[in-house]
Structure 1
Amino acid sequence: MLSKTLVFLGLGLASATSCVATAHAAAPAMPAEARATLSEAIAADHDQALSRLREWIALPSINAEKLNRQEGAELMQRMLLDAGFDTARIIPTDGAPGVFGRLDAGAPTTLAVYFMYDVKQFEAHEWSQPPLEGRLVERDGKTVMIGRGAINQKGPEATLLTAIRAFKTTGTPLPVNIVLVAEGEEETGSENFGQITGDPEVAKALADAVGVILPVAWQGNDGGVEIYLGAKGVAEVQLVADGAKSGRGPGMEIHSSLGASVENPAWRLVKALDTLVADDGYTPAIDGWMDDVRPLSDEQIALIESGIRPGAEAAAKKELKVQGWIAGEDYRSSLVRLASQPTVTIQGLVGGYTGPGGKTSIPSRAEAKLDFRLVPDMQADEVVSKLRAHLDKRGFTDIQIVTGGIYGPTETSRDAAIVRALEKALAGADVPHTLTPRLAGSWPGYRFTDPPVSLPAVFVGIGQGGQAHAPDEWYLIDAEDPKLAGIDRQALFFAEFLYALANTKP
């Protein structure tokens, strides 16, 4: 579910001088000898790193299809041990197993890392390259690897492991200890992730960490990076109007002439859906939905405003193929809305005949897939109950609610050690950045940021990729533009971040 392409591709960056926080602008204390040693090892490992990523892409773990769940966990376990982790244990759950790894460097600082090893489904005929081969393709001055999971999230995760491997192969002491938690159900809502983070050994290890990171590769074409201080939550549900089960409509498809005497489940669903938003078509209207929404602070709004640069709006419209924003709002207002507002979204509607011509029939069943984006302080465990109560109050007791994955929102202080370390690492790497209050996409980070774990969490990385969840998903390997980081530079940046974190006071 995690994808930066779901957030307009960000705000667009201001100049490096204005967006890098001066309080954290000192270069990270990575010893010159370690930098040279690790850089040389990463470069020497380049071809093998590509081979390891191809091997991972070749094994798709698709939880929605219950495909390769155990095999995916076993490969994840082997990859951690091969990269230098001391231990890697498979944790059974009621669904796909998780993996817990530890690397004890004897350091005073411990970092937690989140991985996912599952990927989205794919239709091979929609791709220009085989989706499970990880082929290299040249385009627009870039060498990219195409494959399912290439950017979401196997590419960035494999590159972090390449960095850790470099410490192992060169005998360079790792500056921090690492505990790593991996799951195989992120793309279906992390249904059983709580069983992994709740494992006694995992919970104890997380309690010693200063924060949690998720490796990403979200550099903009101008070379800049956004630091997200949180993410929206998400709840996926399916609403179903079924004449056979409810008695409100036919139990089979019937002739439309009978519409004068028999209810149509498609209309029943449409009427129910119409109550979920106001007449404007986008303001949530579910009873109690907005009660717990916390408005953005003045500081958070200022962060959004400071990150807008000339040309960003035009670039966003071109990328999204849109002509304007909701209610004709200006770009600044649309970005504030994007960060602050919960949403009610119809993903898709299915019901009755959709082939060529007409069929003059009444369907027996209609269904809609929806997702709701949640913001602080909305409670994920209240989503379904509020939706049920809203529908029941309006007489739609017959509409079935089929629940999917549900994530709560996350929020992290800009003063957290992992955020300050990331700013140091980016400044030291001469990568401009902005801080942004909230990612409009979602991930199961609330398992870390909420009690009882209560850790700050942030996305870390440079590099690029795209087409997550879509055909021709890609991950940047090399680029002619020196502002864009290929995988060797990405791996070295992860090492720089670890040193920055080790030298950042909690």
Structure 2
Amino acid sequence: MMRAGMMDRRGLLAGAAAGGAMLTLGGRASAATPDLKAIRAQIDKRHDEAVQRLQTWIRQPSICAEGVGMEEGCKLTMEMLKDAGFQSVTRMPTDGAPGIFATLDAGAPRTVGLYFMYDVKQVNPAEWISPPFEANLMDKPGFGKVLYGRGAVNQKGPEATFLAALHAIRGAGKKLPVNLVLVAEGEEEIASPHFPQVVRRPEVLKALSKCGEVWMPMAGQDPDGSVGINLGAKGAVELELISTGAKWGRGPANDIHSSLKAVLDSPAWHLVQALTTLVSADGNDPAIDGWYEHVKPLTARQKELIAQAVAAQDEKEVMKQMGVQHWVRDLPYQAAMERLAAEPTVNIQGLVGGYTGVGGKTILPSRAVAKIDLRLVPDQTAADCIAKLKAHLAKRGFGDIEVKVTGGYDPTQTEETSGLIQSELAVYRRRGLTPLMNPRLAGSWPGYIFTGAPVSKPAGHFGLGHGSGAHAPNEYYVIESSNPKVEGMDGATQSYVEFLYQLASTR
């Protein structure tokens, strides 16, 4: 998932709900609520099975950006959904990687939507302490037994844990308390370019219309055991800016000896000059014409939520975890966190051009590429921002630079008063947690497809458990926790059981 590891989640874990305790919903006991002891016993009994399921999933690479294992990854995900009790599981062809549409009818009065992804980010195995697709279990100081692998926390670990919850409920002889409608994609890590082709199929829209909300499993605990609730997420656009001598009509059409720079233009410098027009002099504010036209400022309530989070945090510890020494422009912490939630961004992911090997090669490259990501806030849209970028470049004499959009989507927002958010709060609070609400995740996920028309449902994330290293080397997910404040896989499975029963009671 394209997310940012925001350390805005605080609140001590006073104690987890006991597996044998009667679950109390919405502050009241419910006669229809089962004793969870039998389900907890199934979670414990099926621990090894759940871990092996996750290992099997991770051992199947599914890297959309490289076209690796996508059909196999889709097929395996479908098999896992069927095994977990979904009666209808359908492969949904798109112009890219296939999606999945699945339903589980438990005969319940209420229906809940789920979002899954089965693709993962690229890897460089040389950077890992354990091969990224072997899913090895290893001890990690301060955490216990963890599983290392690409997709461990983003997002196969939490998703496999949710499936373990379905197996445990069924294994205990219980019916699921809600019906489920699930949509999955294999292109989240390239900004979901074809996911609308899945969700906007008539049969999918009809099924989602019956849902009260749509949510995604997530390992939501920080190492101190705290959790947060995100009330939205920034949108994202991924693209490449490509400068070539052939299209520009200046400089070489093919790489040429660098001595000729005296008489030839450089496509690489042409790209650099174009890039400098996109941001302020220090590189920190977007300067694209009209960029702030639809930027919605933070509300007083959103600023209040940020202030509450900042007051509960140790700024120095946050900086230490991130490996940084200064916020942009040396802003005070609260101002920096407001900026994190409120500001759109123009970021250079990578610059590629010419020779980058050992030593010099003395060439004048004919082609240079900048990989860019844009983060968007309400009320910006991906389509409008792409159009503004192209117009900005053309106006300044850079119309020859190709803008190759590879994916993107709009921001998302869910009301604090929605049943989804209130259900999350109820489950966390029963477990002794005091979650802080974040107005907006600085990272991104395609929640807009659910919160926007025609679906128009609350959407977000939920889940206990911990993992880290998304998009980075040595990604891990805690399986057996040695940290009393952090749930392992079984405790996280229990949290999903509790959440399903809480959603069932939501009015």
TM-score, normalization by structure 1: 0.94
2: CA distance, partners of 1:252 / 1:216: 48
Q: Secondary structure at the match of 1:210?
A: strand
Contact 2:3 2:445 (8 Å CA) reproduced: no
1:62 alignment partner in structure 2: 63
2: CA distance, partners of 1:444 / 1:399: 28
Shift of 1:358: 4.0
Shift of 1:29: 5.2
2: CA distance, partners of 1:445 / 1:332: 26
1:420 alignment partner in structure 2: 422
1:43 alignment partner in structure 2: 44
Go from structure 1 to structure 2 and tell me whether the alpha carbon gap of 1:330 and 1:431 turns closer, same or farther (over 3 Å shift). Answer: same
Contact 1:34 1:172 (8 Å CA) reproduced: no
- 447-456 vs 308-317, which deviates more? 308-317
Shift of 1:16: 7.4
2:476 alignment partner in structure 1: 474
Please state if 1:176 is matched with 2:178: yes
Go from structure 1 to structure 2 and tell me whether the alpha carbon gap of 1:443 and 1:92 turns closer, same or farther (over 3 Å shift). Answer: same
Shift of 1:71: 1.7
1:451 alignment partner in structure 2: 453
Contact 2:242 2:370 (8 Å CA) reproduced: yes
1: CA distance, partners of 2:248 / 2:2: 36
1:111 alignment partner in structure 2: 112
2:27 alignment partner in structure 1: 26
2:19 alignment partner in structure 1: none
2:2 alignment partner in structure 1: 2
Decide which of 8, 13, 18 is 1:11's aligned counterpart.
8
The one-letter amino acid paired with 2:450 is F
2:277 alignment partner in structure 1: 275
Please state if 1:131 is matched with 2:132: yes
Shift of 1:434: 0.6
Please state if 1:303 is matched with 2:305: yes
Shift of 1:113: 0.3
2:396 alignment partner in structure 1: 394
Go from structure 1 to structure 2 and tell me whether the alpha carbon gap of 1:103 and 1:364 turns closer, same or farther (over 3 Å shift). Answer: same
Shift of 1:245: 2.8
Q: Secondary structure at the match of 1:419?
A: helix
Shift of 1:310: 5.4
2: CA distance, partners of 1:357 / 1:501: 61
Go from structure 1 to structure 2 and tell me whether the alpha carbon gap of 1:100 and 1:394 turns closer, same or farther (over 3 Å shift). Answer: same
Q: Secondary structure at the match of 1:130?
A: coil
2: CA distance, partners of 1:410 / 1:118: 21
Go from structure 1 to structure 2 and tell me whether the alpha carbon gap of 1:438 and 1:221 turns closer, same or farther (over 3 Å shift). Answer: same
2: CA distance, partners of 1:342 / 1:128: 35
Shift of 1:148: 1.2
Question: 1:478-489 maps to which residues of 2 (within 5 A)?
Answer: 478-489=480-491
Shift of 1:495: 0.7
Between Structure 1 and Structure 2, how many residues are aligned?
A: 496
1:20 alignment partner in structure 2: none
Q: Secondary structure at the match of 2:238?
A: strand
Contact 2:9 2:227 (8 Å CA) reproduced: no
TM-score, normalization by structure 2: 0.94
- 495-504 vs 330-339, which deviates more? 495-504
Contact 1:105 1:175 (8 Å CA) reproduced: yes
Shift of 1:346: 0.7
Please state if 1:288 is matched with 2:303: no
1:88 alignment partner in structure 2: 89
2:260 alignment partner in structure 1: 258
Q: Secondary structure at the match of 1:150?
A: coil
1: CA distance, partners of 2:113 / 2:81: 14
2: CA distance, partners of 1:484 / 1:288: 45
Shift of 1:428: 1.2
Q: Secondary structure at the match of 2:35?
A: helix
2: CA distance, partners of 1:323 / 1:291: 32
Q: Secondary structure at the match of 1:339?
A: helix
Q: Secondary structure at the match of 1:41?
A: helix
Contact 1:119 1:187 (8 Å CA) reproduced: yes
| Deviation by residue 1:390-446 (Cα, 9 ceiling, x = unmatched) | 000011111111111102100000011011001001111222311110000001111
1: CA distance, partners of 2:173 / 2:320: 48
Q: Secondary structure at the match of 1:11?
A: coil
Shift of 1:252: 2.1
Decide which of 238, 241, 265 is 1:239's aligned counterpart.
241
The one-letter amino acid paired with 1:459 is H
| Deviation by residue 1:84-129 (Cα, 9 ceiling, x = unmatched) | 1121111111111111111112222111000001111222222211
Please state if 1:499 is matched with 2:496: no
Shift of 1:387: 0.7
Contact 1:425 1:496 (8 Å CA) reproduced: yes
1:403 alignment partner in structure 2: 405
1: CA distance, partners of 2:326 / 2:31: 45
Shift of 1:218: 2.3
| Deviation by residue 1:265-303 (Cα, 9 ceiling, x = unmatched) | 111011100000111311110011110000010000100
Go from structure 1 to structure 2 and tell me whether the alpha carbon gap of 1:28 and 1:159 turns closer, same or farther (over 3 Å shift). Answer: farther
1:21 alignment partner in structure 2: none
Go from structure 1 to structure 2 and tell me whether the alpha carbon gap of 1:357 and 1:210 turns closer, same or farther (over 3 Å shift). Answer: same
Contact 1:276 1:344 (8 Å CA) reproduced: yes
Q: Secondary structure at the match of 1:34?
A: coil
1: CA distance, partners of 2:220 / 2:379: 27
* RMSD after superposition: 1.8
The one-letter amino acid paired with 2:253 is G
1:430 alignment partner in structure 2: 432
Shift of 1:354: 3.0
Decide which of 356, 381, 384 is 1:382's aligned counterpart.
384
Contact 2:423 2:506 (8 Å CA) reproduced: yes
- 32-41 vs 149-158, which deviates more? 32-41
2: CA distance, partners of 1:198 / 1:464: 33
Which ranges of structure 2 fall in alignment gaps of 5 or more residues?
15-24
Contact 1:233 1:373 (8 Å CA) reproduced: yes
Percent identity (aligned): 48
The one-letter amino acid paired with 1:58 is R
2: CA distance, partners of 1:113 / 1:29: 25
2: CA distance, partners of 1:225 / 1:234: 24
Higher helix content, 1 or 2: 1
The one-letter amino acid paired with 2:389 is L
Q: Secondary structure at the match of 2:154?
A: helix
The one-letter amino acid paired with 2:140 is R
1:346 alignment partner in structure 2: 348
Shift of 1:255: 2.9
